Structure 1
C-alpha cells in the first residue's frame, strides 16, 4: 500500500508539472501577441499625428501659403499662414492615402504573421493532445507493469522462502551424508583391518603347518636314509644265457594286471640298479624333493599367481604405407584402441559406452563381439598378458573387467570419486592399476575385486603404466611421478613442459614415451630417470588431454596422431620425423595402437572412424 500511495503522488506531481508548463506557454504567447497589438495601435496613432505634423511643418505648404516659414519657437501673429484650404486638404488626403496603403501593407504582414502563429499554436495544441493521449497510454502501461512487478516480487519472495527451506534441508542431508560416509569409511577400514588380520593369521597358521610338515618329512627322510644305509642287499649273479631265457619267457607270458585303474607290468627280475640305494642316489632323491618344494613355491593358504614375461614377438616393425580397412566403428567419438598380445584381435572403446572387438584377418577388420554393460563412456582399454581379459576405464568413476568371449562384465572396480582416465594390468591379470581425475592412483586385487592400495597425488592423473614393482603416472600439473609398490612415498618426479596426456612403456621396459600439451613427445631413460630425446615436428599439435602416443614393438619408432588427423612417426635412432600420414582422418586423432607383431597400426578419431594401416 505504501508503494501504491507513492506511485499516485508521483503521477499527481507529474500532471501538475505538465499543467504549469502549458500555462506558462499560454502566458508567454498571449503576452507576445498583446505587445504586438498594442504596438500596432500605437503605430496607427503615431502615424496619424506624424502625418498631420509633417503636413503642417513642410516647406511646400509654406511655399503655397506664400510666406516664409515660421520658427516653431517664435510663433506670432505675423507668422499666421494664409493658405488654400482645398489644396491643403487634397495634399493631406493624398498623404493620408499613402500612409493608409503603407499601414494596410503592414497590417497584412502582421496578419500573416498572426496566421502563422495561429497555425503554429494549433500544431502545438495537436502535439500537446497527442502527448496527453500518449501519456495516458503510458500511464495505463505503467499501472499494468507496476501490478506485474508486485506480482513478480511476491513470487520472488515465495521462491526465496522455498529456496531457503530447501537449502536448509539440503544442508541437513549433507551433514547426514558426511556422518554416514564417515561411518561407512570407518566400517570399511575396520573390515579391511579385520580381513587383513584374518588373512595374516591364516598365513601364519599355514606357515606353522608347513614348517611342522617339513620337520616331520625331514625326520622321516633322515630315518629312511639311516635304515637304507644299514641294510645290505645281496644280488645273485646268473649267467647271461639264463637271463636271456628268463626275459623271453617273461615277454611271452607277462599278463596285464590292473590295480586302481592303472596297468602294472610284471618284471621277471629286478636289477641291482633298481633295488640298491647308493649315496649318490640318496642325494639325488633329497635334491629332487627340495627342488619340488621350491617349484611349488606357495603355501597351502596362498593362491597361485601366474606371472608372464613380456617377450617381444617382433624383430623389426614395418612402416605403415597404406590403409587396408576403414570402419565407422561407434555411434559417437572413439577414445581408446588396443591390440591383443597375438595381434589377431583389435579392441575399441568410445563415448557410446561400448567396447567392440574386431578380428584382424588379411588386413581387414571383421566385427567379432560387443562388450556392453559399461556404466560410462570408455576412456582407455587394455588386454591382459594372455589376451583373455580386457580392462576398461570409464567416465562413471569406475573400471570394468571383461572376459573375452563371455560378454558379461566380470568385475566392476569402484572407489574413485571422479572419472577414471586410465586402467592398466600389472604383470598378471590378477592385479591392476587405475588413475583418476580425483587425484588418486589405486592398486587393485582383481580376484577379490577390492582396492589394495590408494595413492594420493597433488594433481589428477591422465595415464599410468606399470614396470615390475614401479608405477609411473602422468599428471595435469606437468609432472611424471614414480611410485614403488613397496613404498608409500613418491620415489621420483620428472617435470615436463606441458600437461602429460599419455605414457607408453617400451617392450624392454628401459624407456618411457610421454606425450604432452606442449606439442612434443619426450623419451625418458628409466635407468637414469632423465629425458633422453624430445620429438617435435611442424604441423603436429596435441588435440586433447587424452591424446595417446605409443612405441613400436621393436622400440625403433614413436607414433602419435595430431589435431588435424595426420599421423606422425619418428625414428628413435635419429630423432627425426620418418613419415607423416595425412588425408584419411578428418578430425583429431584420439589414440593409436601398434600391433605386437609389428605389421598393423590402428588409429581412431573424434568422428567415429577406425582406420587399419599396413
Structure 2
C-alpha cells in the first residue's frame, strides 16, 4: 500500500483561473440542458416500450393471418376477425406514434445542434469579454497609478504657485515703491534741469551782453583809428606788402591794423614829401583796411565767443528748380535689379540716382546722354530695401531695410558704413534731417526714431499707435504717415505729437515741398492729397479714372517747383496732376507692365525715373 500522500503545493493563480473558467462553463452548459436531457430520456423510454409492444404484436399477427383464408365456414370464427382488426388498428396507431416520435426526436436533435452552436458563440463572446475585461482592468490600474502621480504633481504645483504668488506680491510691492521713488527722482531731475537751463540762459544772456558791449567799443575805436589813418598820405606800392605781412603774422585786432596803416602813411609822407593828400590812395587804403578788418571780425566770429557754443552747422541749401518740365516720353528702360524694385531717389546734383530692391542691393546710376549708366553697387544690406535717401551734400546714402535696421553708405565705398539697429520690426522709411549727422526712421513696430549718425546712437524714440509707412523732416518738425489713416506731426524739440490730420485710407508715402509749406500724401483710397502746412488743412485731392494705389509702399512726389504731383498706378501708368488747378495734366503709358512702386523727379526738373515690381526702371524726358 502506498504511503501517505504529501500535501499538494498551492496551485498557481493561472491554474485557479482556469478551474474557475471550467466550472463556470460547466454550470452554463448544464443549465442549458437541464430540461432537454430529461425529455430526451423520456422519449427513449417510450420508444423502448413501443418497441417491446411491437415485438409482442408481430408474432400474434403472423398467427392470425392464415385464418383469414378459410372457407365459407368462417362464420363461426367472428371473434378472431374482430381481434385481427383491433390489432391492425393498434399497429396503425403504433406506426403513427412512432412517426410522431421520430419527428419529435429530429426536432430535438436539431434544437440540440442549434443550442450547441449558440453555446459555442456565447463561449467565444464570453472569452472575448473576459479578455477585454482583463485589458480594461490593467488600463484602470494604470490610469489609477497615473491619477495618483498627477494628484501628487498638482499638490506640488499648488505649493509652488502659492510660493510664487507670495514672491510676486512682494516684488509688486517693491516695484510700486520703486516707481514712486523713480517718479519723485524724475520730477526732481526735471526741476533741476529746468533751473539749470534758466541759469545757463541768464549766464548766456549776460555774456552775450558783455560781448556785444565789447564789440561795440572795439568798433567805435576802429572807426576812430580808421578816420585818423584816412587823413594820412599812403604809399600805394608798398602798403599791400605791409598790410599782407600784418595779416600773415596773425594780426587779430583792428586797432593794430589801423596803427600799422597810420605808421605806413607817415613813412610814405616822409618819403614822398608831398604837402597834399592823394584822394585815390587814401580811398584805396581805406577800402583795403575795411576788408581786412571785416575778415578779422569774421574770423573771430567763426572761432566763436558765445557761451552756448556754435550751433550745429546745416547743409548748404539745394538749388530749387524754377520751372519743371513735364515728361512726355521714355528715354531709357533697364532691368536694374534681380527682383522687385521698391525705392528710387535722385541725388542733389540731379545726375546721380539710387535704386533699391528686394535683392538687397542699392545701385547708383548716372544719366549720360539720356541713358542710365551703372556707377556703383552698394552691398551689405541685411534685407530687402524699402527706402533710399541722399543727404543734401550727396556724399552719403541712407536706406531702410526689412532686417529691422537702417544702414548708411558713403558714396564711393561699397560696404555699409553704419548700421542703425534698434527697431523690432521692418523699417519702412529712413530720411536725413536738414542738420548734419542726424536722421529719422519709421518702422512697423509702431515707433519713429531719431538718430545721431556720428555715434550711430538713437537719441529719441517716439511711440505711435499704428505702424509707420513713411516719414519726412522739416526744420523743426517730423511728419509720419501711418496705417491707421492718420498723418502725425512731431516737434523735434518736444516729446509729444503736435497735430494729427486724418485722411481716408492707409498712408503709403509723404513728400515735403522744398519751401516746406506743402505736404503731398498718397493713400490706399486711390487718392493724392496736398496739405497746406500753414493752415494745416487739405488743399487739394487728386483722383483719376484708372489710378489705383498698388501697394502699401507706393511713393508719390512733388515736382521740384511744386507745380505738379506725380504718382504711379497699379497698371504701370504714370499720372501727373496740376497742383494749383487740381486737374489731371497727363498720363504716361508704355514700358511698365506691372505696378509702379516709386517715382523720383530730379532737382533740375528735367528728368523723371519710375521703378516697378517687374525689376524695371524707366527714365522719362
Please classify the TM superposition score into its range, dividing by the shorter chain length: 0.5 to 0.7
Q: 1:73 matched to which residue of 2? A: none
Following the alignment from structure 2 to structure 1, what is the Cα–Cα distance between the partners of residues 191 and 241?
Answer: 61
Following the alignment from structure 2 to structure 1, what is the Cα–Cα distance between the partners of residues 444 and 192?
Answer: 27
SS at match of 1:317: coil
The alignment status of 1:217 with 2:225, answered yes or no, reads no
Instruction: From 383, 403, 409, give the equivalent of 1:402.
Output: 409
Q: Cα gap change, 1:93/1:367 in structure 2, threshold over 3 Å: closer, same or farther?
A: farther
Structure 1 length-normalised TM = 0.64
Q: CA deviation at 1:107?
A: 2.7
SS at match of 2:398: strand
Give the length in aligned residue pairs. 528
Q: Cα gap change, 1:103/1:550 in structure 2, threshold over 3 Å: closer, same or farther?
A: farther
| Alpha carbons 1:533, 1:575 under 8 Å: kept | no
Where does the alignment leave 5 or more consecutive residues of structure 2 unmatched? 1-16, 50-78, 249-267
| Alpha carbons 2:234, 2:281 under 8 Å: kept | no
Instruction: From 333, 337, 341, give the equivalent of 1:328.
Output: 337
The alignment status of 1:368 with 2:368, answered yes or no, reads no
What are the within-5 Å matches in structure 2 for residues 292-441 of structure 1?
300=304, 301-302=309-310, 304-312=313-321, 315-319=324-328, 321=330, 324-329=333-338, 335-349=342-356, 354-361=361-368, 362-366=370-374, 368-372=376-380, 378-394=385-401, 399-407=406-414, 409-410=416-417, 420-437=427-444, 439-441=446-448
| Alpha carbons 2:450, 2:461 under 8 Å: kept | yes
1:325-359, Cα deviation, whole Å (9 max, x unpaired): 113347xx754332223343332445666544344
1:95-128, Cα deviation, whole Å (9 max, x unpaired): 2212322332243234223313322322332344
Instruction: From 273, 278, 294, give the equivalent of 2:279.
Output: 273
Q: Cα gap change, 1:86/1:35 in structure 2, threshold over 3 Å: closer, same or farther?
A: same
| Alpha carbons 1:442, 1:451 under 8 Å: kept | yes
| Alpha carbons 1:338, 1:383 under 8 Å: kept | yes
The alignment status of 1:529 with 2:536, answered yes or no, reads yes
Q: Cα gap change, 1:296/1:115 in structure 2, threshold over 3 Å: closer, same or farther?
A: farther
| Alpha carbons 2:450, 2:460 under 8 Å: kept | yes
The alignment status of 1:88 with 2:89, answered yes or no, reads no
1:295-350, Cα deviation, whole Å (9 max, x unpaired): 997661526434304502762131465871113347xx754332223343332445
| Alpha carbons 2:388, 2:400 under 8 Å: kept | yes
1:525-579, Cα deviation, whole Å (9 max, x unpaired): 33443332143655835433x44333454643431354xx745535345655954
Following the alignment from structure 1 to structure 2, what is the Cα–Cα distance between the partners of residues 89 and 354?
Answer: 128
The alignment status of 1:603 with 2:620, answered yes or no, reads no
Q: CA deviation at 1:381?
A: 2.0
Q: CA deviation at 1:523?
A: 3.2
Q: CA deviation at 1:495?
A: 0.7
| Alpha carbons 1:399, 1:414 under 8 Å: kept | yes
1:191-211, Cα deviation, whole Å (9 max, x unpaired): 999998999799779846753
The alignment status of 1:124 with 2:122, answered yes or no, reads yes
SS at match of 2:316: coil
Q: Cα gap change, 1:45/1:580 in structure 2, threshold over 3 Å: closer, same or farther?
A: farther
| Alpha carbons 1:511, 1:526 under 8 Å: kept | yes
Following the alignment from structure 2 to structure 1, what is the Cα–Cα distance between the partners of residues 338 and 200?
Answer: 46
Q: CA deviation at 1:158?
A: 11
| Alpha carbons 1:432, 1:443 under 8 Å: kept | yes
What are the within-5 Å matches in structure 2 for residues 34-73 of structure 1?
34-35=34-35
| Alpha carbons 1:317, 1:553 under 8 Å: kept | no
Q: Cα gap change, 1:103/1:369 in structure 2, threshold over 3 Å: closer, same or farther?
A: same
Following the alignment from structure 2 to structure 1, what is the Cα–Cα distance between the partners of residues 331 and 107?
Answer: 101
Q: 1:500 matched to which residue of 2? A: 507
User: Which segment is superposed worse, 109-118 or 204-213?
Assistant: 204-213
SS at match of 1:504: strand
Q: CA deviation at 1:92?
A: 1.9
Q: Cα gap change, 1:579/1:359 in structure 2, threshold over 3 Å: closer, same or farther?
A: same
Q: Cα gap change, 1:578/1:26 in structure 2, threshold over 3 Å: closer, same or farther?
A: farther
Q: CA deviation at 1:88?
A: 1.3
The alignment status of 1:571 with 2:572, answered yes or no, reads no
Following the alignment from structure 1 to structure 2, what is the Cα–Cα distance between the partners of residues 580 and 466?
Answer: 30
Following the alignment from structure 1 to structure 2, what is the Cα–Cα distance between the partners of residues 152 and 376?
Answer: 49
Q: Cα gap change, 1:82/1:99 in structure 2, threshold over 3 Å: closer, same or farther?
A: same
Q: Cα gap change, 1:104/1:613 in structure 2, threshold over 3 Å: closer, same or farther?
A: farther
SS at match of 2:91: helix
CA RMSD of aligned residues (A): 5.9
Following the alignment from structure 1 to structure 2, what is the Cα–Cα distance between the partners of residues 358 and 191?
Answer: 53
User: Which segment is superposed worse, 407-416 or 120-129?
Assistant: 407-416
Q: Cα gap change, 1:493/1:296 in structure 2, threshold over 3 Å: closer, same or farther?
A: farther
Q: CA deviation at 1:390?
A: 1.5
Q: Cα gap change, 1:365/1:232 in structure 2, threshold over 3 Å: closer, same or farther?
A: closer
